[in-house]
C-alpha cells in the first residue's frame, strides 16, 4: 500500500512545510500550521471554456481587435449598494463580502436577492450555515417572497455546481465560503486549501456562464477576511460590512473593485424589518453634537464622490505617567502625534506632558489629509478649554512647517456644509480661486495653522 504523503499548511497565509512548526516563517503567526493530505496531480487541469455570456476569450487576440461593449449594470433598489459597487452589479463578477458575525451580511444579501427577483431576475441563494427553514423564517421577517428566488441548503461544491448548471440563475449568493467543501480536497472546510479550491471553482462558473456570484467571508479577530490573502486577489470586488453590533448603523466599504472606485462608502441602518439605506449620513453623524463643548470641530471629508460632515472630538489632559498617552479612534494615531509635534514647534504649545484622546464620532474611519486642520483645532480647543463656533466647518491639510495646503473637491465640501446650515467654512487660501461659494455662508481662507486658530478660537 502506498504511503500517504502529508504536508503542513499555514491557515493564515498558505505557507507549506514538510514538518510542523510552531511559528509560520511566511506570516509570523503562531500555531497556524495544520496537517493536510497532499493531493496527487492527475495531469488534467480544468480550463476555462468560451461560452455565450463569458468574459474569457478562447484564444489570444490583439487588443485592437477586441470589441469594447459597455454592458449595462443591474441596479438594486439600494442606491448605497449600487454606489459602492460602482453603479450596479456587473454580470460575470465575483464579489466577496466580509464582516463580523451578526453584522447583517446575510440580511443584506437576502434583501438584495428579493429585489433582484422582483425585477424578474432568477436568483439562487445557497446557504451553508442555515437550513432552508431557518432561511425562510428570516425571509418572512424581511418580507421576502418571490417565485424567482430559489433557496438551496448545501455545502458540497459538486452539488452546488450541478445545481447552478441545471437552474442557470442570473445571480448566485453563497453564504458562506468557509462552510463549502470540495470533495476532492481532504482538508476540513474553511482551511486554506478548501477556500482556495472552492473560490477558484466559483470564479470559473462566474466567468464562463456570465453569472454574478456573491460570496460571504468570515473575518478574523483583526478584522481581515479569514483565509489566505489569495482569496481577495482572486475575486473582482471585496466589500467590508462594518459597524458596532450594539448600534444600528452599518457602513459598507469597497477595499477592492475592478469595476469602480474603492473610495466609496454606503451607510445603512438596521431596523426590525431589515436594512434601510441612509441618504444623508451627515445629519446622523452630527445629530448628537454638544453645543459649545471645547475640543469639538466639524470637518467635511470626502468618501469617494460623496462629501460627509463628521465631528472630531479631542480631549487633552495632563498626564500622570512618564510617557503621555496618544489614543485615537477613527484616525491614525501617528497622524495625531505628527500634528501635536507641529503645534509644539510652530505654534509654541507645550503638549509633551499632556495625554491626548481623539475620536471621530459615529464610528467613521477618516484617512484623508484634509482632516488635519480640524484635528489640530480640536486639540488646541481642548488644551485651552476654548470652544470653537458650532457653525464652523474646518477643512485643510497641515504641513510640517505649519502651512495649510490645498485639498481636492472643495466645492462639494462647502456645498454640503451650506446644506446643513453651517455659517462659516475655514479652508486653505490656495483653494479660494476659480469658484464661487453658495449664498449664506462665509468662506475664510487661511495659509497657516496660526491663522486658522485666530479665526476659530480668537488666537
Q: Does 14 carry a binding-site annotation?
A: no
Region of residue 235 (left: phi > 0; alpha: psi -120 to 50; beta: else): beta
> What whole-number distance in Å separates Cα of residue 350 and Cα of residue 346?
11
Compute the radius of gyration of the chain from its Cα atoms: 26
Question: Rounded to an integer, what is the distance from CA 299 to the centroid of its chain?
Answer: 21
Set of cell numbers at residue 440: 449664506
The candidate with the shortest Cα–Cα distance to 365, out of 344, 386, 335, 341, is 335
Q: Does 101 carry a binding-site annotation?
A: yes
Q: Does 105 carry a binding-site annotation?
A: yes
The candidate with the shortest Cα–Cα distance to 185, out of 224, 230, 153, 155, is 155
The H-or-E segment that residue 154 falls in is none
CB 427 within 8 A of CB 410: yes
The CA-to-CA distance between both ends of the chain, in Å, stands at 86
Q: What is the DSSP letter of 67?
A: -
Reduced to 3 states (helix: H, G, I; strand: E, B; else coil), residue 331 is coil
The candidate with the shortest Cα–Cα distance to 54, out of 38, 69, 36, is 69
Where does 72-220 have alpha helices with state H?
Answer: 79-85, 105-118, 132-142, 157-167, 192-209
Q: Does 102 carry a binding-site annotation?
A: yes
Q: Does 228 carry a binding-site annotation?
A: no
Sign of the alpha-carbon dihedral angle for 69, 72, 74, 75:
positive
> What whole-number distance in Å separates Cα of residue 396 and Cα of residue 403?
10
CB 92 within 8 A of CB 55: yes
For 43, other C-beta atoms within 10 Å of its C-beta total: 5
The candidate with the shortest Cα–Cα distance to 145, out of 107, 111, 114, 110, is 114
Q: Does 448 carry a binding-site annotation?
A: no
Q: Does 26 carry a binding-site annotation?
A: no
Residue entry with cell 478649554: 385
Q: What is the DSSP letter of 372?
A: H
Residue entry with cell 500500500: 1
3-state percent breakdown (helix, strand, coil) of the chain, nearest 5:
30, 25, 45
Q: Does 99 carry a binding-site annotation?
A: yes
The candidate with the shortest Cα–Cα distance to 330, out of 251, 271, 221, is 251
Question: How, if at all, do strands 354-360 and 326-329 pair?
Answer: parallel
- For the annotated binding site for ATP, the residues are 99-106
- For the annotated binding site, the residues are 99-106
Amino acid at each position: 500500500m502506498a504511503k500517504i504523503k502529508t504536508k503542513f499548511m499555514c491557515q493564515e497565509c498558505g505557507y507549506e512545510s514538510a514538518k510542523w512548526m510552531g511559528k509560520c516563517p511566511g506570516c509570523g503567526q503562531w500555531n497556524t500550521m495544520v496537517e493536510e493530505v497532499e493531493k496527487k496531480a492527475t495531469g488534467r487541469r480544468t480550463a476555462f471554456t468560451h461560452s455565450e455570456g463569458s468574459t474569457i476569450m478562447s484564444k489570444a487576440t490583439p487588443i485592437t481587435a477586441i470589441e469594447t461593449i459597455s454592458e449595462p449594470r443591474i441596479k438594486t433598489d439600494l442606491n448605497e449598494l449600487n454606489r459602492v459597487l460602482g453603479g450596479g452589479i456587473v454580470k460575470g463578477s465575483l464579489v466577496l463580502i466580509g464582516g463580523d458575525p451578526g453584522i447583517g451580511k446575510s440580511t443584506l444579501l437576502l434583501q438584495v436577492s428579493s429585489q433582484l427577483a422582483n425585477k424578474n431576475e432568477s436568483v439562487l441563494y445557497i446557504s451553508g450555515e442555515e437550513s432552508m427553514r431557518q432561511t425562510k423564517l428570516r425571509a418572512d421577517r424581511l418580507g421576502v417572497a418571490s417565485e424567482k428566488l430559489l433557496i438551496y441548503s448545501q455545502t458540497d461544491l459538486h452539488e452546488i455546481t450541478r445545481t447552478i448548471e441545471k437552474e442557470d440563475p442570473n445571480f448566485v449568493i453563497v453564504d458562506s465560503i468557509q462552510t463549502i467543501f470540495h470533495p476532492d480536497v481532504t482538508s476540513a472546510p474553511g482551511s486554506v486549501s478548501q477556500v482556495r479550491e472552492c473560490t477558484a471553482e466559483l470564479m470559473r462558473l462566474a466567468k464562463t456562464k456570465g453569472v454574478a456570484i456573491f460570496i460571504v467571508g468570515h473575518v478574523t479577530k483583526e478584522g481581515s477576511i479569514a483565509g489566505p490573502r489569495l482569496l481577495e486577489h482572486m475575486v473582482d470586488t471585496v466589500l467590508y460590512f462594518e459597524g458596532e453590533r450594539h448600534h444600528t448603523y452599518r457602513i459598507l466599504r469597497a477595499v477592492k473593485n475592478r469595476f469602480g472606485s474603492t473610495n466609496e462608502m454606503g451607510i445603512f441602518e438596521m431596523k426590525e424589518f431589515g436594512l434601510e439605506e441612509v441618504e444623508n449620513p451627515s445629519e446622523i453623524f452630527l445629530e448628537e453634537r454638544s453645543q459649545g463643548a471645547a475640543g469639538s470641530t466639524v470637518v467635511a471629508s470626502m468618501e469617494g464622490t460623496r462629501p460627509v460632515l463628521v465631528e472630531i472630538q479631542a480631549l487633552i489632559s495632563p498626564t500622570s505617567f512618564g510617557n503621555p498617552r496618544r489614543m485615537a479612534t477613527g484616525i491614525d494615531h501617528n497622524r495625531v502625534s505628527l500634528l501635536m509635534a507641529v503645534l509644539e514647534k510652530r505654534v509654541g504649545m507645550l503638549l509633551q506632558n499632556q495625554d491626548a484622546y481623539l475620536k471621530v464620532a459615529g464610528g467613521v474611519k477618516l484617512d484623508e489629509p484634509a482632516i488635519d486642520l480640524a484635528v489640530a483645532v480640536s486639540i488646541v480647543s481642548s488644551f485651552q478649554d476654548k470652544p470653537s463656533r458650532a457653525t464652523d466647518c474646518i477643512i485643510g491639510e497641515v504641513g510640517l512647517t505649519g502651512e495649510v495646503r490645498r485639498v481636492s473637491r472643495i466645492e462639494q465640501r462647502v456645498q454640503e456644509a451650506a446644506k446643513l446650515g453651517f455659517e462659516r467654512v475655514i479652508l486653505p487660501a490656495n483653494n479660494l480661486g476659480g469658484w464661487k461659494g453658495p449664498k449664506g455662508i462665509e468662506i475664510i481662507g487661511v495659509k497657516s495653522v496660526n491663522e486658522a486658530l485666530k479665526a476659530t478660537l480668537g488666537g
